[in-house]
Amino acid sequence: MTTGERQGAVVAKEAFDLRWGARMVFIDNLLRPVEPLLVLACAGIYAGGRWGAFKFAESMVYLLFRLSLLGMDRGLIWWYGQADAARYRKDLFSALAMVAAASVVGFLVMLVVSRVSLFAVQGLELSWNDLLFLAGSIPLLALSEMVFQTNLNHKEMLGRIIGKNIVLPLVVFGGGLIGHFSGSSLGLPFWFFLGNLANAAVAFFVFAKIHLPAASKPPLPTIPPRALWGFSLPIMGSDLLAGLVGRVDLMLLGALADIRAVEIYNVVMMIGKSLISIRQSFEGILLSAFSREGERTLTAKLRQRMNHTIWMIGNLIGLLFIVLLFWGGPLLGLVNTQYRSGYIGVVVLAFFTYINVFGDLSGVMLQGIGKSRFWMLAQIVGFGVNVGCNIWWIPLWGATGGVLAFCASFLVQGAVCQILLWRGSGMVPWLGAYVRSSGRFCLLLIGIGGLSARFSDGGIRFLVFVLSVAGWAFAFWWSARAFENPSVRLMGGAGSDLPEGTTADR
């Protein structure tokens, strides 16, 4: 496609409005606690080996499912801004067919390698039927994710919210709870398969409404174009490395500790990843917004949009960090007494998730400007740090060592992403007003942490918690006015980092 054709295709597309994305992400995260609460209930009931065995095998399923996507889930979001409507529709169905074939291969690989790798872990017990249910979920996961991601290009996110945040957790973990209390012989792997089947049904119902109008037929699958492959394959490589980071932790914990250490690590990571998921809610939206602009570089407008998004997400994660800081230990103890030892890990993971939001979203912007190979390079560096730190720290601190290794790896990876984004775009990615504001919030958070450590009495601690949340909310409201009022320049004066005429609302 020539430059003129590509620009014509971009102009024909509706401009992307992040306010729609913000509304959808708000609904998404409003419903997101449904899953963690059900997961914690199951983790408490199945503690002692069964929960660890399920989560260990489930992690292998998610690794193979991510690889089955071939990077096409984000590749098609990016491709939407590069191709005309007819070409995009043809490539969409071709990519779906290829992902379906790859996911079947993933199903077979899971069955073959699990007989060796899974049962080498101390204390892990899974039946053959359990493995069939888990492996059979790989095609359902892959195709559902493809559908939900590509629907973002058509400003459709409600199906994803219903499928992934309501239907999937209610069936999987709600079914697991019902099965336990009713004495059913059906274990968590069965409910996992049934939940993914229900989620896939939601995904394809919405997909059919958008992409399969009655008057048209789906095009015959062909090989996607070279440009799409060139963008997507490094994404697949990055998914492999990102997936291995979490799985290396589990494997080394299983080998150097036991399955109960795996359970503690999983509960800690589940809570931490609930914070990470807030940032992930925006990833596809930002990439789709980038695609619709038709740009292949980090413009001043996109840089301002990125900084503002990072600032908002960081402050929301900071607020949730305060909750975990004061009440993380008691909440873990309510699930099961064995999980209370994971409090330090939860606090550390939440704090480093907060300070690394810029690094994480810099990786998304690298993908947006077409530098997916740079993103894979950052993943390679992070993977190396993760393996080294795991081997060093797990024998010393068990599950907490695994969490610390994970934090170290994504901090290094985020730093590399920022450097590569700067180099790849030729533009400093940070804006001074947002950086200074985030720095002040970070200092406030550290001060609140000091207060939390100082006051251990229940009544006084609760009062300090309420005052901390109120202070954080007030500081956010006060700072947000400068970024939302179009009459206020972000930087002010001649030292502005933005070009002349750029205001906070653009």
Assign 3-class secondary structure to 181-195.
Answer: HHCCCCCHHHHHHHH
Q: At what angle do helices 372-397 and 226-256 cross, to 10 degrees?
A: 0
Query: What mean pLDDT do residues 132-138 have?
Result: 92
Query: What mean pLDDT do residues 267-283 have?
Result: 74
How far CA 168 is from CA of 25, 43, 119, 204, 208, in Å, comes to 18, 17, 27, 14, 20
* Residue 459, domain member (yes or no): no
Q: How confident is the model at residue 247 (pLDDT cuts 50, 70, 90)?
A: low
Residues in the chain: 506
Q: Helices marked H in 257-356 — which ranges?
A: 259-293, 300-335, 343-355
Q: How confident is the model at residue 505 (pLDDT cuts 50, 70, 90)?
A: very low
The per-residue pLDDT for 5 is: 41
pLDDT surpasses 60 at 12? no
pLDDT surpasses 60 at 478? yes
How far CA 3 is from CA of 83, 344, 367, in Å, comes to 11, 53, 20
Contact indicator for 288, 16 with CB cutoff of 8 Å? yes
CA of residue 231 relative to chain centroid, distance: 20
The per-residue pLDDT for 259 is: 62
The per-residue pLDDT for 313 is: 85
* Residue 477, domain member (yes or no): no
* Residue 454, domain member (yes or no): no
Contact indicator for 67, 121 with CB cutoff of 8 Å? no
Contact indicator for 111, 34 with CB cutoff of 8 Å? no
> For residues 85 and 122, which has the higher predicted lDDT (pLDDT)?
85
Q: How confident is the model at residue 108 (pLDDT cuts 50, 70, 90)?
A: very high
Query: Could you give the CA distance from residue 238 to residue 442 in angstroms, rounded to a whole number?
Result: 30
Range of the domain at 161: 3-430
Of 150, 166, 161, 287, which Cα lies nearest the Cα of 210? 150
Q: Tokens representing 276? A: 């990470």
DSSP, res 296: S
* Residue 128, domain member (yes or no): yes
- How far apart are the two ends of the chain, measured CA to CA in Å? 30
Q: How confident is the model at residue 166 (pLDDT cuts 50, 70, 90)?
A: confident
Q: What is the CA radius of gyration of the chain?
A: 23
pLDDT surpasses 90 at 136? yes
Q: How confident is the model at residue 199 (pLDDT cuts 50, 70, 90)?
A: very high
Query: What mean pLDDT do residues 19-32 have?
Result: 66
Q: How confident is the model at residue 291 (pLDDT cuts 50, 70, 90)?
A: low
* Residue 475, domain member (yes or no): no
Q: How confident is the model at residue 17 (pLDDT cuts 50, 70, 90)?
A: low
Query: What mean pLDDT do residues 465-491 have?
Result: 74
pLDDT surpasses 60 at 227? yes
The per-residue pLDDT for 144 is: 93
pLDDT surpasses 70 at 26? no
Query: What mean pLDDT do residues 433-447 have?
Result: 91
Contact indicator for 1, 82 with CB cutoff of 8 Å? yes
Share of the chain above pLDDT 90, in %: 14
Query: What mean pLDDT do residues 374-396 have?
Result: 85
Of the candidate ranges 49-53, 197-201, 477-481, the one whose mean pLDDT is the lowest: 49-53
Q: How confident is the model at residue 456 (pLDDT cuts 50, 70, 90)?
A: confident
Domain count, the chain: 1
pLDDT surpasses 60 at 14? no
The per-residue pLDDT for 107 is: 93
Query: What mean pLDDT do residues 56-64 have?
Result: 84
Q: Helices marked H in 15-49 — which ranges?
A: 18-31, 34-45
* Residue 165, domain member (yes or no): yes
Q: Tokens representing 392? A: 């060093």
Most confident of 18-27, 135-144, 206-215, 344-353: 135-144
pLDDT surpasses 70 at 494? no
The per-residue pLDDT for 367 is: 77
The per-residue pLDDT for 49 is: 61
Q: Say how many CA atoms lie within 13 Å of 305 toward its Cβ.
A: 24
Share of the chain above pLDDT 70, in %: 77
User: What is the sign of the dihedral through the CA atoms of 182, 185, 187 and 193?
Assistant: negative
Query: What mean pLDDT do residues 409-433 have?
Result: 87
How far CA 296 is from CA of 82, 142, 302, 366, in Å, comes to 10, 28, 11, 10
The per-residue pLDDT for 503 is: 33
Of the candidate ranges 117-126, 245-254, 452-461, 471-480, the one whose mean pLDDT is the lowest: 117-126
- The values of phi and psi at residue 352, to 5°, are -75, -25
Q: Can you give the pTM of this predicted structure? A: 0.62
Q: How confident is the model at residue 320 (pLDDT cuts 50, 70, 90)?
A: confident
Average pLDDT score, the chain: 78
Of the candidate ranges 34-43, 75-84, 119-128, the one whose mean pLDDT is the lowest: 119-128
* Residue 352, domain member (yes or no): yes
Of the candidate ranges 85-89, 214-218, 436-440, 481-485, the one whose mean pLDDT is the lowest: 214-218
Query: Could you give the CA distance from residue 28 to residue 277 in angstroms, rounded to a whole number?
Result: 10
* Residue 201, domain member (yes or no): yes
